[in-house]
Amino acid sequence: MRWVAALLMGMATLTVVGCMSLAQIAPPVDVLDRGVVGDSGIEVGALVRGRDHYLRHCGNCHALEPIGDYSEADWRGILPGMIKRCRLDAVKAEELRDYVMVVRGHLDRRG
Amino acid sequence: MDRDLMRCRRSWVWSTVVSAVWLCVTPGASEAGARRFTYSYEALTHPRGEVEYEQWVTWKTSKRDDRTYDRLEFRHELEFGVTDDFQLGVYVSDWRYTDGNSVKDDGADWRNVAVEGIYNLTHPIADPLGLSLYGEVKLGDELFELEAKLLLEKDFGPWALVYNPTIEAEWEGDDFHERKGKFEQTAGISYQVMPQLMVGAEVLHEISFDEWSTQSDHAIWLGPNVSYWKDNWWITVTPLFQTTHVDGEPDFQLRMLIGIEF
């Protein structure tokens, strides 16, 4: 049973570390630049749901990619294929796209 | 023996025909994400509407009390994403071929059909720990089996960790009078080397209880795994080596899964 305990400890450690790095991979909506969020005209609730879709669907076949690793143009090319692959409905797809673009805008503004 | 072989052949032909028809009539292939492990399950289920065919092959060989022992087990399975959180699997046919000095009836025999359901409760990335409930019912000529598992998973960047405790209740024989219980644990770790290639390791621990009373020796196997996917198919292979010295268990086993998604 010792290896089971070690495994569960490992999972717990990774959970803590994982939560910290998730904020860098897909920043929570409340840390985004308010100007960028306001200018987007998208309601905060939709962005929060968009982040949830990102976390729940974009790491299922491969490791979750940090949004900052790709430009806005890259994401416009990547997202349609990935959305189709995840079989997201139109509403979820829209929320996911909006969230990624707002994060990209936030990162661009921060330089 | 001949009857068994005939039945086995019939089952093989039938499941192959079903699979082939399915491949032909299902439109528009989606892209796949591979199963990273073969003895362990991950917590995530197929999205709603997704269908996958899985071919299982498990080779068990060389028991300490019979070095000539060989068994090949085959499973033909169809999995359906019923909702985004619930997946149903149908084992169209499980059959096996056994050979060795200690085997009474060498040859092939058909084993069972089965249904499995997996319900996902929490996500391995979005939630602190991914958790799914697994239930399975198997039915054969002289076999009835119930199985329940917890599927625990945590993903951290390119790493995935899984742990599956399992309990099985089995009734075998002419009138299902031979009862057996089994407790099994599997765990695995996997690292994504590149988006389509994952490598890692798995461990399997088994204890069985004849008549739910006589406990067998603990048997543990350990080994590496590798998984690769491309477009709408994937393959995962795990060779496991016994690290304990249990006479009646194979020293080596290898499982290969091939999946095709639609």
Chain A, 66-105: which have a CB under 8 Å from a chain B CB? 84-87
Q: What whole-number distance in Å separates Cα of residue B35 and Cα of residue B87?
A: 14
Do B63 and B249 form a contact (C-beta atoms < 8 A)?
A: yes
pLDDT of residue B147: 98
Does A18 contact chain B (CB < 8 Å)? yes
In chain A, whose CA is at the least distance from the CA of B122?
A56
Residues of chain B contacting residue A84, judged by C-beta atoms under 8 Å apart: 30
Q: What is the pLDDT of residue B25?
A: 40
d(CA A37, CA B226): 43
Q: What is the pLDDT of residue A18?
A: 55
Judged against a pLDDT cut of 70, whether residue A43 lies above it is answered with yes
Is the pLDDT at A46 greater than 70, yes or no? yes
- Total residue count of chain A as it appears in this document: 111
Residuewise pLDDT in 10s, chain B (262 residues): 455 555 545 555 555 454 444 444 443 334 446 899 999 999 999 999 999 999 999 999 999 999 999 999 999 999 999 999 999 999 999 999 999 999 988 999 999 999 999 999 999 999 999 999 999 999 999 999 999 999 999 999 899 999 999 999 999 988 889 999 999 999 999 999 998 999 999 999 999 999 988 898 999 999 999 999 988 899 999 999 999 999 999 999 999 999 999 8
By DSSP bridging, strand B197-210 and strand B178-194 are: antiparallel
Residue B187: which of B222, B158, B227 has the closest Cα? B222
Q: CB–CB of B163 and A7 under 8 A?
A: yes
Asked if B33 and A60 come within 8 Å (Cβ–Cβ), the reply is: yes
Chains A & B: contacts with CB separation below 8 Å: 71
Confidence of residue A5 (pLDDT cuts 50, 70, 90): confident
Lowest mean pLDDT among A3-17, A97-111, B97-111, B184-198: A3-17
Q: Is the pLDDT of residue A91 over 50?
A: yes
Residue B168 tokens, joined: 């099985």
Interface contact B262, partner A, CB < 8 A: no
Predicted ipTM of the assembly? 0.80
Q: Could A86 and B47 be called an inter-chain contact, meaning their C-beta atoms sit closer than 8 Å?
A: yes
Q: Which of B74, B75, B32, B34 is nearest to B51 (CA)?
A: B32
**Whole-number pLDDT of residue B31:** 44
Chain B neighbours among A 37-56 (CB < 8 Å)?
Answer: 52, 55-56
What is the pLDDT at residue A41? 94
- Closest residue on chain B to A16 (Cα): B128
CA separation for the pair B133, A27 (Å, rounded):
30
B33 part of contact set with chain A, CB < 8 Å: yes
Q: Is A60 on the interface with B (CB under 8 A)?
A: yes
Of A81, B123, A108, the residue nearest A97 (C-alpha): A81
CB contact under 8 A, A15 and B44: no
Residue B126 sits at the chain A interface (C-beta within 8 Å): yes
CA distance B84 to chain A (A): 10
**Nearest of B79, B146, B63, B92 to residue B118 by alpha carbon:** B79
Chain B residues inside the 8 Å CB shell of A7: 161, 163, 187
CA B191, CA B24: separation in Å to the nearest integer? 34
Of A18, A21, A87, the CB nearest to B48: A87
Kindly state whether B28 is in contact with chain A, defined as any CB-CB distance less than 8 angstroms. no
Q: What is the model's pTM?
A: 0.85
Query: Beta strand pairing status for B143-156 and B219-230?
Result: unpaired
**Dihedral of alpha carbons B7, B8, B11, B17, sign:** negative
Alpha-carbon gap, residue B59 to B4, rounded angstroms: 20
Give the per-residue pLDDT at B7.
54
Show the domains of chain B with their CATH numbers.
2-261 (2.40.160.40)
Share of chain A above pLDDT 70, in %: 86
Cβ of A17 and B31 within 8 Å?
Answer: no
Give a three-class secondary structure readout of chain A: CHHHHHHHHHHHHHHHHHHHHHHHHCCCHHHCCHHHHHHHCCCHHHHHHHHHHHHHHCCCCCCCCCHHHCCHHHHHHHHHHHHHHHCCCHHHHHHHHHHHHHHHHHHHHHC
Is residue B173 within 8 angstroms of chain A, CB to CB? no
Cα distance between residue B175 and residue B190, in whole Å: 43
Check residue B246 and give its pLDDT: 94
